[in-house]
Structure 1
């Protein structure tokens, strides 16, 4: 049951937390250091948690994956790295493992799990973010190849990526069934990658535009068959919305621990600030939002493992976690006061890193729509 961890799960969480705190706590300063940190994530198994063991992964289900991503997010202050690895795993490795041909899986997944390659999910376009039906990138079958033309305005990990999972229209008349999913590898003629883009936060996760200009790829790089792009995307988003946001649970745990410690030690007007109801109740609200979001995320993962997951499950989870994370970072700044405004404290970075959680994996406005649709509205 998702409410009770087994001893093996608790031990795995504790081991991952301790290891991450020791080896991956601080953000890297340069691109070469990002690659070193990335390979370390591969050594720890974080890049292949839910990928079959036969391809170098951990073979875990969604709930166990979320537990370890949560430990990663709690122990690592570099939320950009946590996000980058989770996007690599859930939006790229998962669809390849689920929908790729045996040859494609055997060729790409071992390096992706080991940390020898980086993957980017290239879906967002200038006029098509959460709306997959609005994408304009086209793919035309030409013998045993597909020719891709179009541009993706934003792809996390793109400047560093070796593998791109992307989506293109193969039949403009077929609606939902007219979109297909592909894998494009770095070095393919016609592939051009921009960036890194200047962003508000998640600094370690470089992002950039991706352009396809008569980009010819093998037909074997098609995922799930022609017209399956919508299904591939929905499957990857179910995993991403359920498991990626576990990293933000870990971040909120870390912020809560810091606020409790600070409130106990900081004194004003001859008293601990913990004795002021304005402070203690703010911390209590942080705990309330965290635990509510955690239960929704665990339930979404539990149902994903059990096979009765709905889009509303992961939408509720994503919405609750992302909103709680932004509030937690903002509350932490207020509890620490002027000290929290200083860069060296790391709290302003936490706030910058939480704000985009409302935007990626489908905006929170989209999550409200999915929840409403699940209610039959």
Structure 2
């Protein structure tokens, strides 16, 4: 495994760090309080090619890999203080662009990907409902075939980007009796008849990434806007979640590194009891632990990205998407909780960034599946939750069992989402 960057990737990180430092998030504190999304900053990212970084050139992209995406977003996170903006970018690229790129037909790709890559269109992913989040087999949104059309009826909640989105990847069932196997994906445009979008109540953090509710009232869309085959929605969603879980936390590598370094400088200046506070082991040990966890988080996330580049498709059989998402998100919460303690009242005050980063970090443990759900999925992939049978000795389960496609409770959950989306 290489631990150094070539000039190309190093330059990519530096360029997006500079964009974040010089252009983005100048009024983030005010916009965070008001819950305002910056269209200007969004377009600035689009102009630098961020949204199309991984897409093939024929669809307006740069044809780069997942590791390049992480490097770019890590750089952006290092420079940009608007975590909500970076969350909105992740939802757009990973949960809207990726499924169209991987499962769309040529007409769909050419119709939507260039606009999404250029930032002219904003994408969103609609799965969560009032009665289902992690349990996608309980979807209540229905898709009834009507000749060459489908009629979609249902309600989606907590859809990141919904208030500003032009295109939604919507998951519905073609038969509720089919459970998870009936799930099918569709491309729904904001202007379609029968679509209404409204903003939902304010949230604890990530406030500059707006979220909302989508009501589908017999929305009639052509069958040509079905994404993938009928009843293939589970596979679409599984791939989407694997990409999102692998890459969504990339900006937080940069955010954490910047804020840890800033706190080190603070601890070298701040004096109490006649000494710089960094001389107290309770302070220095906390900073050391933060740095070590950050290093481990970084390696794990880049490993997940490397798996994507190696296979070309999200490796849903490995633990890296869920492990990366779980570890990096929980590390971010621990880091900003620790920084709050080290800064004291200043860290708790809205005068600084620390309390906002902590609120935002908590949201990252929920989006794309809660930490508990990541553990459930990983347990399933390890075979821990293999179902009870007449043979109760679970140690007899072999690699051949899992390779044969045998299902177990955790396996089905690799295809579901446990958080607000």
Q: TM > 0.5 between the two? A: yes
Aligned length: 377
C-alpha separation in 2, matches of 1:113 and 1:31: 25
Give matches, 1:342-357, under 5 Å: 342-357=349-364
Structure 2 length-normalised TM? 0.86
Residue 252 of structure 1: aligned partner:
256
- Which residues of structure 2 form unaligned runs of 5+? 385-421
Q: Are the counterparts in 2 of residues 47 and 86 from structure 1 also a CA contact under 8 Å? A: no
Q: Are the counterparts in 2 of residues 159 and 193 from structure 1 also a CA contact under 8 Å? A: yes
C-alpha separation in 2, matches of 1:99 and 1:81: 26
- The alpha-carbon deviation at position 100 of structure 1 amounts to 1.2
Q: Are the counterparts in 2 of residues 50 and 94 from structure 1 also a CA contact under 8 Å? A: no
SS of 1:127 mapped into structure 2: coil
Residue 64 of structure 1: aligned partner:
68
Deviations 1:328-358 (A, max 9, x none): 1111111111111221211110011000111
Deviations 1:47-74 (A, max 9, x none): 2221222111222211111111111111
Residue 377 of structure 2: aligned partner:
370
Question: In the alignment, is residue 113 of structure 1 matched against residue 117 of structure 2?
Answer: yes
C-alpha separation in 2, matches of 1:142 and 1:238: 32
Give matches, 1:164-203, under 5 Å: 164-203=168-207
Residue 414 of structure 2: aligned partner:
none
C-alpha separation in 2, matches of 1:250 and 1:134: 37
Question: In the alignment, is residue 297 of structure 1 matched against residue 304 of structure 2?
Answer: no
C-alpha separation in 2, matches of 1:182 and 1:347: 40
- The alpha-carbon deviation at position 174 of structure 1 amounts to 3.3
- The alpha-carbon deviation at position 139 of structure 1 amounts to 0.3
Question: In the alignment, is residue 314 of structure 1 matched against residue 321 of structure 2?
Answer: yes
Residue 225 of structure 1: aligned partner:
229
Q: From the superposition, tell whether residues 268 and 237 of structure 1 become closer, same or farther in structure 2 (CA, over 3 Å).
A: same
- The alpha-carbon deviation at position 254 of structure 1 amounts to 1.6
SS of 2:282 mapped into structure 1: helix
- The alpha-carbon deviation at position 181 of structure 1 amounts to 0.5
SS of 1:201 mapped into structure 2: coil
**2:334 alignment partner, one of 305, 327, 331:** 327
- The alpha-carbon deviation at position 293 of structure 1 amounts to 1.2
SS of 1:343 mapped into structure 2: coil
C-alpha separation in 2, matches of 1:43 and 1:330: 35
Q: Are the counterparts in 1 of residues 154 and 215 from structure 2 also a CA contact under 8 Å? A: yes
Residue 391 of structure 2: aligned partner:
none
Which segment drifts farther, 251-260 or 199-208? 251-260
Give matches, 1:79-90, under 5 Å: 79-90=83-94
- The alpha-carbon deviation at position 3 of structure 1 amounts to 3.4
SS of 2:145 mapped into structure 1: strand
**1:358 alignment partner, one of 362, 365, 373:** 365
Residue 213 of structure 1: aligned partner:
217
- The alpha-carbon deviation at position 5 of structure 1 amounts to 2.3
**2:347 alignment partner, one of 340, 343, 349:** 340
- The alpha-carbon deviation at position 196 of structure 1 amounts to 4.0
Residue 140 of structure 2: aligned partner:
136
SS of 2:199 mapped into structure 1: coil
C-alpha separation in 1, matches of 2:381 and 2:3: 24
- The alpha-carbon deviation at position 371 of structure 1 amounts to 1.2
Q: Are the counterparts in 1 of residues 140 and 176 from structure 2 also a CA contact under 8 Å? A: no
SS of 2:219 mapped into structure 1: strand
Which segment drifts farther, 17-26 or 359-368? 17-26
- The alpha-carbon deviation at position 4 of structure 1 amounts to 3.4
Question: In the alignment, is residue 42 of structure 1 matched against residue 49 of structure 2?
Answer: no
Question: In the alignment, is residue 126 of structure 1 matched against residue 162 of structure 2?
Answer: no
Structure 1 length-normalised TM? 0.96
SS of 2:319 mapped into structure 1: helix
Q: Are the counterparts in 1 of residues 35 and 202 from structure 2 also a CA contact under 8 Å? A: no
Structure 1 runs, 4 residues or longer, greater than 4 Å off: 30-33
C-alpha separation in 2, matches of 1:160 and 1:220: 24
C-alpha separation in 2, matches of 1:4 and 1:215: 51
C-alpha separation in 2, matches of 1:295 and 1:279: 25
Residue 152 of structure 1: aligned partner:
156
Q: Are the counterparts in 2 of residues 118 and 161 from structure 1 also a CA contact under 8 Å? A: yes
C-alpha separation in 2, matches of 1:80 and 1:208: 14
SS of 2:155 mapped into structure 1: strand
Q: From the superposition, tell whether residues 120 and 296 of structure 1 become closer, same or farther in structure 2 (CA, over 3 Å).
A: same
